[in-house]
Each structure stands twice: as C-alpha cells, then as structure tokens.
Amino acid sequence: MTASNLSAISTDPIWVESGEQLNTLCEQWQQQGAVAIDTEFMRTSTFYPIAALFQVSDGHGCYLIDPLKIEDFSGFKALLVNESVVKVLHACSEDLEVFKTFLGVLPSPLFDTQWAAACAGYDFSMGYARLADTLLSVEVAKSETRSDWLQRPLSESQLRYAALDVAYLLVVYALLLKKLKEQDRLSWVQTECAQQVASAAVTPDFSVAYKKVKTAWKLSSRQLAVLQALANWREIAARERDVPRNRLAKDGALWDIARTQPDALGELTRIEGLAPRTIRGDGDTLLALIESTLNQPAEQDPPRLPEPLARSTTDFVKALKQAARQVAEDIEVPPEVLLRKKDIEDLVRSGLAGDYQLPERLLGWRRNIVGEQLLALAKQWPA
C-alpha cells in the first residue's frame, strides 16, 4: 500500500470483543505480509502495565480488540509469533512489555517505524503523529493519550483516536521500507528490531539492579553490598506486589540507607524518599538485610563502580563525538542512530584500562560505518 491509497483506508473503528471473532480475523491476517499493531494500557499505580486495548490494521480496516472481554487469545498469539508476518509498531518498547505481561509472547519479526524513520534519515525519536504528517500529510490527533483506557464503554473520541493510531501505519511502513532498501539500510532496522525483541524477552538480573542508581559509584564496596541487597529486594517486592518501585523506595533512599546503614526503625524514618508504609511494613526486613549483608565476608562485596570520566578526558570525548557527528552528517542520519554517550564512554574506559576495544553496540553493522574510525582515532590520541 502506498500514500496514494490513503482514501481506501477506512478509519472507522471495528470493535472486537469475542475470542471467536478475533480468531477468525487472525486467520485472515496470517495470510498478509504485514499488520500494524498498537496497544493502549494503564500504569498509574502498578508495576506491570494493564492491557486495555489492542489495535490492529490490515490496511483496510482498524480493529479494536478488547482484552477486558476476550479470554481466548490463541489466534492473536499465533499471529504475533508468525515469522512470515511482519508486525509493524511505532516506538514499541512499552508495547513489548504489554505483550509479554498479558500474552506471554513477543511480536516477531518486528518493524519499529520510529527507529526505521531515524535510519532513513528523519529526526530521531519522531512521534507517530509527526511522522504521519511528514510522510503522508495527514493529521493524527493525540488528544486522548492520557485518558482512561480501562473505562467501558470507551468514548467516541477514544475509539477514533485508537483507530487512527494504526490506520496509516502500514502506509508509513511501505514508504520507509522502500527508502531503506534504496539506501541499503534495511538490515540496520531488522537487526535493531530483533535486538529489541531479544532484550524484552530476557529475564532481568536483579543482582545488578544496584548499578542503575546514579550515584552508586560514590559508595565503598561494603556500602555497595548493602545497596545491592536493597535494590534486589525492591525489584522482587515491586513485582510480587505489582506496585511501582518508587512506591516502596526511591533510588536516593536506597543509596542513603546503603551509605548510613541504619540499625533501628527510628533511623529509617529520617531517610528521605522512603515511604512511611514501607517503614511500617518492611522496616524490619530492611534492617535484617543490612545486618546480614554487613555480616557477610568482605570478599563477597561487589567491586566499586567506575567514577565518571575525569576532566582530563573532556577533549578526547569531544573529539570522538565530533567524529561520530561528522559520519552521521555525511550519511544523513541522526547521530543517535550510530552511537550513544555511553558507547563513547565505554570506548574511552577500555583504553584507560589498557587496550582500546569497541563496545558491543559499535560492532555489527555500525563497525564499518563508524566503529573502526572511532577506534583508530582513540588509538592515535595522546596518552
């Protein structure tokens, strides 16, 4: 389907609320080369997203699938994992979590139109509405983004919004697919999308959750051991109780506990960012965690985390960034497609540790485009 076929697309929402109806539709969609999919969900007071709606467009109609009513999703799950049908979504990291949580499967093969647009030379992280306007000159309203998607019945405005979210997505996909093939960049998108799915499928390692606390590098190994135990506890408890992490304790609170190592409930009350309900319900558990960690052999403590790069590396980092920006400009893509700030930091750190090595993300298709150039520049930089 191309942009010239827009008038053939019906944007009238088609409500689907029975498993039998959904399975019949999925049998039809299994015969297509691609389907467009989106989700609506709620996540205001839970750890896991609550699926409120699935939208599918087959290029002819917009189908709104009700997960609050349907029990049999076998046909839909089979569609999601059918390797002969491309699943087209836009900026889908949270959608992947909805699929994993609610259905236990992930869409594959995946084509993320936000990432594809960036690889094709459009702005990085473009929203769907702006992308549709840029490519198709059509307006997709975003007025219902934060509305209550669990209410029933949905309002006419919600139904219209949900349908438009997928109505033109296959047309966008076709245009981007054509451009990416012409640019010989389709493999970039396929690789990144496959990695998105693979990453979403991995069970998180709670034992390394402490490393995500921004100022963890300031702590000693013994303090880090406490932070590790606390962060591990929070990850497990948040999932078991289905509540947001911050409802139990904010990152800063965990860091402060690890630093001060309180041994009484009264001391916990002075920790900013630690919810009173957590102190009441989990205070004794936290104190026991601290005590048991402090009693463990020191050799079990995690090593200190690396400090932020020293100011002496500032010019070096700037030179690497500028080289990457120049490559991005030359091939007309946003710099973020090629690398992140962390990639440059990892490259610099590898040299400080003794031998410059490309980080994993700069291997694969990025290696010949930008990786080898940055590696060569790094090796030439004065020690």
Count the neighbouring beta carbons within 10 Å of the beta carbon of residue 322. Answer: 11
Distance set, CA 237 to CA 253, 272, 280, 311 (Å) = 16, 20, 15, 39
* pLDDT tens digits for range 129-147: 999 999 999 988 777 778 9
Determine the pLDDT at residue 109: 98
pLDDT in tens, 275-316: 999 999 999 999 999 999 999 999 999 999 999 999 999 999
Sign of CA dihedral 344, 211, 189, 43: negative
Residue showing tokens 């135990």: 229
Give the residue ranges of DSSP H helices in 168-275.
Answer: 169-183, 186-201, 221-241, 245-248, 251-260, 265-268
Positions in the chain whose pLDDT score sits under 70? 1-5, 383
Compute the half-sphere exposure of residue 304: CA atoms within 13 Å on the CB side of its CA.
7
Instruction: Give the single-character DSSP code of 233.
Output: H
DSSP class of 369 = I
DSSP string covering 307-362, please? PPPPGGGHHHHHHHHHHHHHHHHHHTS-HHHH--HHHHHHHHHHHHTTS----GGG
| Catalytic site positions | 38, 40, 95, 161, 165
CA atoms within 13 A on the CB side of 191: 12
Rg of the chain, C-alpha, whole Å: 24
Task: Classify burial at 286, counting beta carbons within 10 Å of its beta carbon; exposed 0-12, middle 13-18, buried 19 or more.
Answer: buried
Q: How far is CA 328 from CA 121, 179, 324, 370, 373, in A?
A: 9, 17, 6, 9, 12
* pLDDT attached to residue 88: 98
pTM of the model: 0.93
CA distances from 331 to 208, 325, 366 (A): 37, 10, 12
Cα–Cα distance measured from residue 229 to residue 261, given in angstroms and rounded to the nearest whole number: 12
C-alpha dist (Å) from residue 188 to 96, 112, 116, 176: 20, 12, 8, 13
Q: How many residues make up the chain in this entry? A: 383
